[in-house]
Amino acid sequence: MDVLLAWQELLSSENVLTDEKTISAVQTATFATTQRVLAVIRPGDRAEVQECIKIANQYQTPIYPISRGKNWGLGSRVPVKDNCVVMDLSRLDRIVDYHEKLAYITVEPGVTFQQVFEYLRDIQSNLFLSVIGGPPEGSVIANTLERGDGIGPLGDRINYVCGFEVVLPTGELIHTGFGRFANAKTTPVSRWGVGPSVDGIFAQSNLGIVTQMTVWLTPIPKYYLSFNCIVKDHSRLQQLIDIIQQLILQGTIKENCFNFWNCYKFLAKEGRYPWQLLGGKTPFSLQELKGTEPWFGTGDLYCASQEQGLAERKIIEEALAGRVEQLIFSDQEDSSSPLKDDIRLGIPSNINIKSTYWRKKIKIPKNLDPDRDACGVLWLCLLFPFDGQPIVESLRTIESTIKSYQFEPNIAINCSTSRSVKMFIAIMYDRQVLEADSRAMACHDHLLQLFVQEGYIPYRLGIQSMHSLPTAQDDYDQLIRNIKNQLDPNNILAPGRYDFSRDK
Ligand SMILES: Cc1cc2nc3c(=O)[nH]c(=O)nc-3n(C[C@H](O)[C@H](O)[C@H](O)COP(=O)(O)OP(=O)(O)OC[C@H]3O[C@@H](n4cnc5c(N)ncnc54)[C@H](O)[C@@H]3O)c2cc1C
């Protein structure tokens, strides 16, 4: 193909891959897909990204950018549409800028959470980057563009980034915020710049390839305290949700610093289904086994002093007294506390990735790779008003629906703001079990449809759900179509990705 020759000339042949092993790997997700990939191209810098996309336009060959390709449960490296070329940006892995006092770091798309952690540790920074509960080798930029979820104070990261460098679908280059001015001093510290702000159109979209971004960091707290509690049923959970909402609204607990996990998510973290105990049967019901399906709450207090921490602890203890089965606080001086390795202080861990092996019977490998190991994972990411009653009502529907498809409901709720919570619903299964792929997708689609009908629209989509949303009731879809047509007249960039306005 002429287009491949053109890219080979630009990037050299080792960065234009068409071998069967590579293609088969990028065509594999954690659920069934049918999209074929023509090739993988690997530009080495921003200028090459620009040239690659110009070639794509010239030959009318669509490009699907990935940064690290670990979008597990949402499509991994697989494009939304058939016959794309995957542009792998992992070679763009420079940390471009960093400022201790102003607490920011500027990175390229190949930079991972692990890389930023090691960088800050090595220079003995007093700052940390909120990391995700997902893969340490995920890309900071890609995760942000997906409006992914980090842990801790700045974990709702899309709100704490600025200064994007973006290659447009035609190959042109722009800088957001103040970045367009040659001598601007405030690019890494101001989100809005002056005039219309366009950062937002590059997240969850197919309107540009982000080749640089500034991400804001959090000071390592002088005093850190975490607390855990348990509630044994839905009515206690509903009460607890409402108490936590008030504690966040008044500022005792920071936004994005409290999580609820159900018992199945907790168990799956260890990655093992109780095959022996159940004599090989599925699904597993803790309700049947122990008569209860408890929920676990975990909060984190990031404080400027011990006095502050203890005062906040007192308020929380008073608010939760008699409302939870157990309330345990541990601080950084507690020798039994694993805080030194705490993911909530910016230390990446792949512990949660083990949960993708929950239903697998193989030994969990050291090098976790759910795509390779046929681990079935499907995420459904819902957003709710921070209100106990509708959340718990929805949980009842979710749990019974997932059980009716013979899976365990694996659910977490992240209190991302004082007004809304994110709910992560995972369907974890073994792709090698006959028809498990289709059963899992049917379960996912069923839930998605139910909640869209109820007015709970997902806040993040995977390639499995890009075309599942209702048409806009106003002219929004048309506006997006106009912008896309203007920026990408050949529809060359990531066709179908968060593009609700086109062919459904
Ligand atoms: C057990 C488990 C736990 C998880 N926990 C979390 C979690 O806590 N928080 C969370 O957010 N996610 C989580 N995930 C989901 C996922 O693994 C992460 O979101 C991960 O960061 C995505 O992979 P990546 O960073 O390599 O992005 P990529 O796969 O590289 O990119 C994701 C998408 O963004 C687009 N994109 C990528 N780079 C660019 C670019 N430079 N310009 C334009 N578009 C681009 C592409 O369309 C791509 O498909 C979890 C997954 C599993 C299985």
pLDDT tens digit sequence for 113-149 = 999 999 999 999 999 999 999 999 999 999 999 999 9
| Whether residues 144 and 230 fall in one domain | no
Domain assignment present for 200: yes
Question: What pLDDT score does 338 carry?
Answer: 43
| Whether residues 145 and 232 fall in one domain | no
- What distance in Å separates the CA atoms of residue 272 and residue 267, rounded to the nearest whole number? 8
- In ligand 1, the atom with minimum distance to the C-alpha of 109 is 41
Instruction: Describe the crossing of helices 388-404 and 436-454 by its angle, rounded to 10 degrees.
Output: 150
Question: What pLDDT score does 339 carry?
Answer: 44
Q: Which amino acid is at 230?
A: I
- What distance in Å separates the CA atoms of residue 411 and residue 247, rounded to the nearest whole number? 22
At which of 163, 194, 219 does a domain end? 219
CATH of the domain at 353: 3.40.462.10
Is the shortest distance between the CB of 352 and ligand 1 below 6 Å?
A: yes
CATH of the domain at 59: 3.30.43.10
Question: What pLDDT score does 285 carry?
Answer: 96
Strands (E), 35-81: 37-41, 63-66
Question: What pLDDT score does 342 carry?
Answer: 87
Domain carrying residue 264: 223-460
| Whether residues 50 and 165 fall in one domain | no
| Whether residues 214 and 235 fall in one domain | no
- In ligand 1, the atom with minimum distance to the C-alpha of 112 is 25
3-class state of residue 298 by DSSP: strand
Domain assignment present for 281: yes
Name the token pair of 304: 């400027």
- In ligand 1, the atom with minimum distance to the C-alpha of 353 is 1
| Whether residues 258 and 368 fall in one domain | yes
Given a contact cutoff of 8 angstroms between Cβ atoms, the answer to whether 387 and 233 are in contact is: no
Name the token pair of 178: 């103040």
Question: What pLDDT score does 404 carry?
Answer: 98
At which of 88, 106, 132 does a domain end? 88
- What distance in Å separates the CA atoms of residue 504 and residue 502, rounded to the nearest whole number? 6
CATH of the domain at 156: 3.30.465.10
Domain assignment present for 484: no
Question: What pLDDT score does 501 carry?
Answer: 64
| Whether residues 81 and 105 fall in one domain | no
Domain assignment present for 164: yes
Question: What pLDDT score does 428 carry?
Answer: 98
| Whether residues 211 and 123 fall in one domain | yes
Question: What pLDDT score does 187 carry?
Answer: 98
Alpha-helix runs per DSSP H in 91-165: 113-122, 140-145
Question: What pLDDT score does 270 carry?
Answer: 82
| Whether residues 213 and 230 fall in one domain | no
Distance 136 CA to ligand 1 centre (A): 11
- Residue 129 has a CB neighbour count (10 Å cut-off) of 25
- Consecutive 10-residue runs of the chain (504 residues): their mean pLDDT? 95 98 98 98 98 98 98 98 98 98 98 98 97 97 98 97 98 98 97 96 98 97 95 97 98 98 95 93 95 97 96 98 94 57 91 96 95 98 98 98 98 98 98 98 98 97 94 93 96 93 56
Distance 323 CA to ligand 1 centre (A): 36
| Cα 147 to chain centroid, rounded | 7
| Whether residues 171 and 287 fall in one domain | no
Strands (E), 334-388: 375-385
- What distance in Å separates the CA atoms of residue 174 and residue 210, rounded to the nearest whole number? 10
pLDDT tens digit sequence for 321-355 = 999 999 999 987 665 544 456 899 999 999 999 99
- What distance in Å separates the CA atoms of residue 471 and residue 473, rounded to the nearest whole number? 6
At which of 161, 191, 219 does a domain end? 219
Instruction: Describe the crossing of helices 46-58 and 2-11 by its angle, rounded to 10 degrees.
Output: 160
Domain assignment present for 486: no
Given a contact cutoff of 8 angstroms between Cβ atoms, the answer to whether 343 and 349 are in contact is: yes
| Cα 274 to chain centroid, rounded | 28
| Whether residues 255 and 182 fall in one domain | no
- Pick the closest to residue 427 from 492, 355, 483 (CA basis): 355
| Whether residues 351 and 408 fall in one domain | yes
| Whether residues 210 and 275 fall in one domain | no
Domain assignment present for 473: no
- What distance in Å separates the CA atoms of residue 413 and residue 254, rounded to the nearest whole number? 15
